[in-house]
Amino acid sequence: MAFDFKKEQREFYLPKRKPEIIKVPKMSYIAVRGKGDPNEEGGVYQQAIGALYAVAYTLKMSYKTDYKIKGFFEYVVPPLEGFWWQEHAEEIDYGNKRAFHWISVIRIPDFITKADVNWAIETASKKKETDCSQVEFLELEEGLCVQIMHVGSFNNEPATVALMDEFLLKNGYEDDMNDTRFHHEIYLSDARKIAPEKWKTVIRHPVRSGKQ
């Protein structure tokens, strides 16, 4: 059976509906950076996601081509994830989606290198006849975080984030979002097939210990 990160590393993808502290190690991703409203029909965000999936599946199916990745084993493409922030904002304004900056990512196995990603970008661009040049290889170590499973529309996230903040205050931690550590979402539901009130999204925030 193909390796499935969601099943093999459940602690990163299937948290409970109450906050918990977790330490996230370094992981490898393919990523696209951008700015703007993610709901804009045919906008830069949707184009970026298309390119990201094109490269993701080119890597996944590489074993059926002449290009061989060292150490390759079959795996399930992990869920889409996103890092989000707004410049000069102490709190995210969910009503001002045009102000969002984002890094959309899909995790890749550790055996995939930057050179492999570059091959997949070139191959996907030719095969899919789409520009995948904005996709990049990214390594990121999130470190100490608080996370929770949010169920429902993205617009209802502030109530879930409030639970996280309350948990931090009671347990001696502080929010540590800054210029390099962001609000993080992992999308476990297909929004095209599931009603918004049933969407499942992992929300993860960077933290630090507030104890001196």
Q: Is 124 helix (H, G, I), strand (E, B) or coil?
A: helix
DSSP string over 128-183: TTS--TT-EEEEEEEEEEEEEEEES-GGGHHHHHHHHHHHHHHTTEEE---SS--E
The range of the structural domain enclosing residue 35 comes to: 5-209
Q: How would you classify residue 129: left for phi > 0, otherwise alpha for psi between -120 and 50, otherwise beta?
A: left
Say what the pLDDT of residue 130 is. 87
User: How many domains, the chain?
Assistant: 1
Q: Give the residues across from 141 on adjacent strands.
A: 26
Q: What is the pLDDT of residues 113-156, one digit of tens each?
A: 999 999 999 999 999 888 999 999 999 999 999 999 999 999 89
**What's the chain's average pLDDT?**
94
Provide the whole-model pTM: 0.94
Q: What is the pLDDT of residues 148-194, one digit of tens each?
A: 999 999 989 999 999 999 999 999 999 999 989 999 999 999 888 99
Q: What is the CATH number of the domain that holds 153?
A: 3.20.80.10
Q: What is the pLDDT of residues 45-65, one digit of tens each?
A: 999 999 999 999 999 999 999
**Whether the predicted pLDDT of 212 surpasses 70:** no
Say what the pLDDT of residue 44 is. 93
Q: Using 50, 70 and 90 to split pLDDT, how confident is the model at 211?
A: low
- For residue 100, give both structure tokens: 């969002």
